[in-house]
Each structure stands twice: as structure tokens, then as C-alpha cells.
A and B are shown apart, each in its own frame.
Chain A
Amino acid sequence: MMEEEKLKIGVVSCSGEDCAGGTISRLATRKMMDELRPDNTVTICLPLFLAGGQEERMFAKECPTIAVDGCDKACAKRATEKYSGKVSSGILVSDLIGSAAAEKPALSTRDITTEHQVMVDQVAAEITRQFDEIMAKNCQEQSKSSSTCSCRGNCDC
């Protein structure tokens, strides 16, 4: 029997090189993929919206998307919405860890301290919270139209 398709949620990180917030956004996004929601998280390199083709530009139209931005330029959110589709939600790292920390110079992953790791965990926790909200909402909508739950046990249905 064919396995029911799992709902995937896109997490698009700015990965910016201008400030520490870009490094934190990247690592928090990776944490979603590696540890927190590996089976349901998908991502796309942000520049592919411009350099790629129609397939890449369908990303935010095909799956709910959370934009994670390191600074208030909000490039991930704006570029996703410009080239692909409206994001389901957006996270501004500077709102969570403070502008002073987010606007420090870009960090190499070699220079990540325990303090930075706490920030990564904090941002990842917020992505997870929004992720689970979107998952639950989609699940409720799916449940209205069918008897099965599309997220396969990742919600409280």
C-alpha cells in the first residue's frame, strides 16, 4: 500500500553574511532539519528563487513556508514573497535575541560559543512553535475534507 504523503513545511533562512543574526538564522534552520522536525521540514536556498526556474518559484505556493531573517531587512521574507508566494509566517532573529546581538559581525560556525548556541536554540524553539501551529491548522483543514490526518501523528487530531 502506498504510504500517505507527509505534510512538509518550508523553512527559508536568510543565511546572511552581513551580521551574526544571519548565522543564527542558518543554524536554527539546520536544527529544524537535523533534529527537531527532520521528517517534515524542507528548505530551499533563498537565491534559487532568483537564479532557479519555475520549479523553485513554486516552493512557497506548494508548501506552507516560514521565513527566518537575521536582521530587519527581512530578505528571506521579502524575496520569498517577491518570487515565490506569500509566507505563512516570518521570524525576525533580532526580535528574539536583541538587535545588539543580531547586528554584530557575521559569525563563522568555528566561532560559535555557548552563548550563541543558546540563541540558536531560542530561535529554533520559535520556529518549532510556529511550525507546529501551521501543522495543526493544516491538519484541521485536511480533517474537514477527509477522515484521515495528513500530518500522520504530528498533531493532536
Chain B
Amino acid sequence: MSTNAKVKVVPCSGVGKVFGLMSREAVLHTVKHLCPEQADTICLAYIVTGDDEVETSIENQPCITIDGCPKMCSAKSVAMMGGDVRGEFKVLDIMKEHKGAQPGTATLLTDQGWSIVEEIAGKLNSRVQEISGGGRKE
């Protein structure tokens, strides 16, 4: 599989809240440790610039987005640049399953935060596997 054919997993990486950091860490864990052969990531900041090069790299490519807040910056931006969004994850939805959890801050995660990040990464990995094995165009 060529690098371009990898599923792009794009976090919002929001800098203001812990959920942005969780999205970022979940994606890094996914693409570095869980499925590096099938997935990689791309800077959302770069996507936002709208450069031709970045548009070419995600246009019609299978993408998964994960957002920390309801503004859905990653999902919206990837879709605007022509990415084929095959999965949209929201950290807030996953946090509903962990009521009362203290995941940390936008700077540092707690052990509980890391545990939830690994759970999110597991979900991202599952979606990557589904997409990779789902007969998408190579």
C-alpha cells in the first residue's frame, strides 16, 4: 500500500481544552502504534491553509476525523478540502461513557485521560481496519 493510499486520520488537536489534546494523542497512538501500515495523519493546520499540495493529498482519500468539541473543525475542514470522510468521531460522545472522569488538562493528561485515549485509539483502529478491508480504491 502506498503512503497516499493510507487512511488519513485527522484530529482537531484543539489547543484550548483537554478534549483537543485527547483527539491528538488518540490519533498519534493509532497511526504510530496500532496501524502504522494502514493509516497516517496529516496536520489539520496544513489542511486549513488550503494549499494545492494538501488538497491533492486528501482529495477523495479515505479519511477519519476526530473532534474535541461540537464545532467539528476536523470533520468540516477535511470535507471542505475534498476528503472522503468515512468516519467522524467525537471525544465528547466517548466521554459520555465516562461520566465523572477527570482526563486532565489541555496541557497534560491524567492516567485516566490516557486510558480513555487508548480506548478512543482502539475505536479509530477498528474503523481503519474496516476501511482498509472494505474494498476501497487503491
Contacts and interface: CB of A to CB of B under 8 A. Distances in A.
Contact of B107 (A14, A22, A30, A51): A30
B30 to A, nearest CB: 11
B24 A75 contact: no
Interface of B: 11-16, 20-21, 24-25, 27-29, 32, 41-50, 71-74, 76-77, 80, 105-109, 114
A30 B106 contact: yes
Contacts of B105: 34
B7 to A, nearest CB: 14
A34 B109 CA distance: 14
8 closest pairs, A vs B, by CB? A47-B73, A75-B45, A16-B43, A51-B73, A51-B76, A15-B13, A30-B107, A45-B14
B24 A15 contact: yes
Contact of B48 (A13, A26, A79, A108): A79
A29 to B, nearest CB: 6
B46 A18 contact: yes
A109 B48 contact: no
Given A83-B48, A109-B107, 9 more contacts: A15-B14, A17-B13, A18-B41, A43-B16, A46-B48, A47-B45, A73-B43, A73-B46, A82-B49
